[in-house]
Amino acid sequence: MIDALRAIGSVATPGASPVQGGSMVKDIGDFAKQLANTIQQGENAGIAGVQGTMPVQQVVQQVLEAERAVTTLVSVRDKAVSGLLELTRMQV
């Protein structure tokens, strides 16, 4: 679970070392990387929109996809964090 959190964290902080772990961790990491790519495209589209070099429809499309990527990523992270908290509350 902590590895899973780290996988998301490594995408959020550029230059961080890739995470070693099981397949679930790798899946979450890949998923997060794909989302980070979408967010980057959204940012680029925003800049192109301001410069007027891209049709507004495309700008809106890319930015909406980026927004969706962010909300999905945050929800997945929240789920992982709540799982971790659940573990810390375990009776010993």
Partner 1 sequence: MTDPISSAGATAFSGLYAQSLRMKIIAENIANAESTGKTPGADPYRRKMVSFQDTYDEVKDANTITADMSGLDKTPFRTEHLPGHPAADKDGNVKMPNVNMTVEMTDMKQALRSYEANLQVIRQGRDMASSLVDLLKG
Interface ranges with partner 1 (CB under 8 A): 55, 57-58, 60-61, 64-65, 68, 71-72, 75-76, 78-79
Please say which residue, 3 or 81, places its beta carbon nearer to partner 1: 81
Question: Cα 38 from chain centroid?
Answer: 9
Q: 60 and 41 in contact (C-beta within 8 Å)? A: no
Distance CA 27, CA 3 (A): 11
Please say which residue, 10 or 38, places its beta carbon nearer to partner 1: 38
DSSP letter assigned to residue 19: P
Distance CA 27, CA 8 (A): 10
CB of 28 to partner 1, least distance (A): 13
Please say which residue, 19 or 80, places its beta carbon nearer to partner 1: 80
CB of 92 to partner 1, least distance (A): 27
